Structure 1
Amino acid sequence: MAALTQARFAGAVAALAAADADLGAVVDAFGPPPIWRRPAGFPTLALLILEQQVSLASAKAACDRLTEACGGTLAPASVLALDDTAMRAAGVSRQKTRYIRELAGAVTGGALRLDRFGRADDEAVRAALTAIVGIGNWTADIYLMMALGRPDVWPVGDLALQVAAQAVKRLPTRPGPETLDGLGEAWRPWRAVAARILWHYYLNTVRQRRGETRT
């Protein structure tokens, strides 16, 4: 399926809200969610690695410092030129330093061809990304959704999505990946849009007091 445009996204939000009363209630309460797109390429993947298991705000701050250390452009070769001291000064942990260097090396060495992702299907992109140390299904799914605009990606390992699904669907416990996978079947072929509606709920309820936003 073609990548989401703003018009197709708006149509999918309307279709999901009409078909599912619970999603419709979220849209009625908070309005349509943002599309939350990011540029495709190395900088977005590096930021997604930095976002693993930390707040979006702290990850962005580290990414901004890393970009500054690279001379204003977060490029694979620039990252590989930084030593451990420079990475620590940017606020990048030892583990994530390794992951970002693995990614940069794969891109510069030609093992990971990001320019070919636009023509590849979701599973091929996911397989290529998760072959890189430090990139798991969550990182691959968010890249597919936000950088490539794929409409039917469903990131079942996302904690915020699980919390929101429990609340919106009034489930007795927080759904794990297997339960969330089954729940998402009703929202094909727009599961990535349903995820944004659920994130929209999460950010307007659970995270509202913290002032954290998804970008």
Structure 2
Amino acid sequence: MTVALAPYSHDYFQSLPNLNTARDAFIESDGPKLVEEIFRPLFTNSGMDRHFGLAMMHRHSNLRAGQIMVTYNNTSTPWNATPGEGMDKPQPMILGLSPEGKLVPTEFRYSKGHKLEIGEKELAFAAKLMAELDKLGLRQLFGLREYPGDDFEGTCEITEGLANINLKPKDYPDGLVQTDTAWYFSETIRKRGCRCTCDNRTDPHGHGAHVITQSG
């Protein structure tokens, strides 16, 4: 199996489930066991634990055609897919595995000069991951997320409208009820328990507009 890097697809982004639908599928598939027994060894044995994390694919809102979701300075908002004059091209941060067998960027990060390396080694790893997911019938549920660095301390993401604001740990809201949405497998981050989670305190199966997600 080979995997190629595809351009951003608005249709693919719009096909992603909302957070609670993805979370329900994760629970039904015995996701925590898969993360520990299947995916953690796959990432670490492939030497990808400091390059990618495992992402549970979902979206928080709709985007119009011609828009992409870009993170800058800990806040992600819709940007024009065509960079402004003098701006670098935003680089992939989250990538899904399409039904056609392509690695498809779904969210981006902006930093001048920053570039996520996706070469032959990374595409070969994506093919391994896809093969494993196909055995489980879960290709649509999981994807890849850029590794945040060994110094990652965690963030809490609050979604307000179309903006996702990442709070620092000292600003986390009280009473978080967490649902995992991404996992990092390097020992440095695992010792600190850093991951992405969702807090949905009023209704664990709700699909409301206000969503809180946390990393760490």
* Shorter-chain TM-score range: under 0.3
TM-score by length of 2: 0.27
Bigger proportion of residues as helix: 1
Who wins on radius of gyration, i.e. which is larger?
Answer: 1
TM-score by length of 1: 0.28
